[in-house]
Chains A and B, each alone.
Chain A
Amino acid sequence: MNWYEIWAELWPTLIAIGIILAVVPVVGLYATFVERKLAAAVQDRLGPNRVGPFGLFQAIADGIKIFLKEQIIPSHVHTFIYMLAPCISLMTAMFALAVLPYGPTPVNYFGGLRFIVMPGLDISLLIMFAISSLSAYGIILGGWASNNKYSLYGAIRSCAQFISYEIPMGLSVIGVILVAGSMNIETIVASQGSGDGISGWNLWWQPLALIIFFTSALAETNRLPFDLPECEQELVGGFHTEYGGIKFVLFFLAEYTHVVTVSFLTTLLFFGGWHFPGVPSEVTASYGILALQMLVLLVKVCGVVCFIMLLRWALPRFRFDQLMGLAWKGLIPLAMLNLVFLAVFESLGWHRWPLAVLSVLLFVAAGYWSAWQSQSFVRKASVT
């Protein structure tokens, strides 16, 4: 590989990185804006509407305000780690974006045009998981360095939560990998293509995996109903109690970046990525079609983001034991069973449609079992 080739590969990468670096904060800021507007709508309010038309500049005003805030470093913190923690948080969150395709990339990406920082990586999904588990460090270190018991509680909770929910998440994704036969996200998306643009989505034969994945992903992002590491009523602010100004914003951005990542993953893995009825499936060099496919992807992602935000106002927060119980007693066994069924089907080469029915049956059986458990527990408790 000569210098020219290296450069030819490097400059699109640099541009892609640059775009991500530039876009992420803006997306983060506007995600807060959207979230506030959405929250306001759900709560019969108007939301921010003073700065700019429809309050559109509110996000910018907030950004400026937060940058101009006084930087307070409490005297009791471990300064170095305290400063490092938000950086780690955001950094890992952004790393995960490196393997996400934002649109279909032509096979010959050396031509320059592409929508991914690390194209053609065969283990991109694995990398994604490897990196995103690192983000737990940001929170744990932040909570620990704050030298504040609430922060530490938040950090410990988040630690336990991360460890627990990585398992069902991984298990549910293995199903998708099995179906596609690859850990390359681009390949996984491509495998969901079909003539009609919709019947190939993994969603159809992996509904249970989708639920498990999405639930675990929510827990990984610390979003409601799983935001126990920062729940205000119990822990003041959780791991970010001692953080303010720009340092807090880094944590915040990381959270929103995670939301975006999770939405992308959900879309790419289960909702067919850029496949949609009426949109050509094949990756062509036609810019118009590329743009259309990208638009489809982004719309789907936005839909998922909005759904996550909506969930926040639809569900109450879990209790910590419920949270743990859900992972260990509910999601993990279900994900395992689901995986076994899938593996059997795949290895025997059967048609996948029955899997959907099996998923539903599994889910119903789990619900029934859980209800029976709870009933019998209550019964037992009332006898004694």
Chain B
Amino acid sequence: MSTAETPVAQVEKKQKKKTVQWGDDPKIGFVEALYLPAIAGGIATALKHAFFKKRSTAQYPEQKPEMPPNYRGVHRLNRDEEGRVKCVACYMCQTACPANCIEIIAAPAPQDDPKWANRDKFPATFTIDELRCIYCGMCEEACPVDAIELTSIYDLTGMSRQEMIFDKEKLLSVFDETSKAGLDPVRTNRGALGPASEKSMQSTDSPPPPGRGKHG
């Protein structure tokens, strides 16, 4: 088709394309121009809702909403099977956090405590400013060992800013509470975890690793 167009027509077409495209005013017909039918329609709709539709208000404190299981609320710090904090203090969450609200101080795991024998590094402190957090879930995405998770607790309130800064103990207690209440986030255990926090991948029947016990 375009080959049939004269060059002038093509140029014109091009120019036309470039000009500002105005949105057309809607065409107003006779009925619309009278206004009253439209007004009556509006009032009828309003009245219909006022008298015939079910009220959808939820009476909040008495009537708790059902949170979708993938809701992103208050954080928790998970524990491993031995009750230790699962976090290995890799700082991935702190790095990923766009709100810059996580602060971790890492330390070597207590060497003389047999409970910590197979762990190298752990978070000496772990602080989240729940007020600064935007509940984006990046921390949980970033965590290589699924240690940090967002629970479906949504009603987070406090009387001071200070108490909204959650430390490690508080975050662990959130884990204890939610796991006891069966409120584990759906994302928990979404896949195989890294070797850093889980029980060693080594099966018990294989021979002990060579080198161990020699100089260790």
Contact = CB atoms under 8 A, between A and B. Distances in A.
B112 interface: no
A382 B43 CA distance: 34
A373 to B, nearest CB: 8
Contacts of B33: 366-368, 370-371, 374
Instruction: Give the dominant DSSP class at A's interface.
Output: helix
Interface of B: 22, 24-25, 27-36, 39, 42-43, 45-47, 49-51, 53-57, 59
A45 B25 contact: no
A374 B55 contact: no
A381 interface: yes
B53 A367 contact: no
Give 4 closest A-B pairs by Cβ, nearest first.
A314-B42, A367-B34, A371-B33, A41-B50
Contacts of A43: 49
A38 interface: yes
Contacts of B46: 42, 310, 313-314
Interface in A366-384: 366-368, 370-371, 374-375, 377-378, 381-382
Interface residues of A, number: 27
Interface of A: 38, 40-46, 211, 310-311, 313-315, 363-364, 366-368, 370-371, 374-375, 377-378, 381-382
B39 A314 contact: yes
B129 to A, nearest CB: 28
A368 B32 CA distance: 10
Contacts of B32: 371
A375 B54 contact: no
Contacts of B50: 38, 41-42, 310
Contacts of A42: 46-47, 49-50
Given A367-B33, A367-B34, A375 B27 contact: yes
Contacts of A368: 30, 33
Given A44-B56, A371-B33, A314 B28 contact: no
